[in-house]
A = this chain, B = another copy of it.
Amino acid sequence: MSAFAPDPRLQADSVFIADGPLSQVRLMNDRRFPWLLLVPRVADAVEWIDLDGGQQRLLLAEINRVSALLRNEPGVRKLNLGALGNIVRQLHIHLIGRHERDPAWPGPVWGNGKAQVYETDALSARTEYWRQRLR
């Protein structure tokens, strides 16, 4: 058992947006997709079923909130939700807005090509955009 901290690879690939009741909300630094992560602040959690009932209900509420925002993003036609953890074992939930002309459609985003990182100003702007929405 150890204190919670986001895995270094998650820290490298995404930016902190806000703390929800259970999870850190983070923006994936990949401008190909509107892509947010929920990282429950539960030390050593690997699987969804490592969360207890109360934690799962908090996570569900966070998924609902972020999903509703993503569904309203311009062009989004489908939501993708995934909890894989084959590379980074720390529990994290991906929520991604998809459409028929995005570079991975209709496949999954994971393992599809290389991330196109935001330029510095654009990343700041996107971070602020999501912070406002998740306030």
Residues on A facing B (Cβ under 8 Å): 46-49, 56-57, 60, 63-64, 67-68, 71, 78-87, 89, 98, 105-108, 110-111
Given the known interface contacts A107-B111, A108-B108, A111-B108, the answer about A80 and B86 at a Cβ–Cβ threshold of 8 Å is yes
Residues from chain B with a CB closer than 8 A to the CB of A64 are 48-49, 56
Give Cα A60–Cα B51 distance, bound, in whole angstroms. 12
Chain B residues lying within 8 Å of A82, measured Cβ to Cβ, are 80-84, 108
In this complex, which of A60, A63, A108 has the most chain B Cβ atoms within 10 angstroms of its Cβ? Answer: A108
- Collect the chain B residues with CB atoms within 8 Å of residue A106's CB: 86-87
Find out whether the CB atom of A47 lies under 8 angstroms from the CB atom of B60.
no
Taking a contact as CB atoms under 8 Å apart, the answer to whether B67 and A78 are in contact is no
**For the complex, what is the distance from the CA of A11 to the CA of B83, rounded to whole Å?**
24
In the complex with contacts A84-B108, A111-B107, A47-B63 CB distance below 8 A: no
Across the interface, name the chain B residue whose C-beta is closest to A64. B49
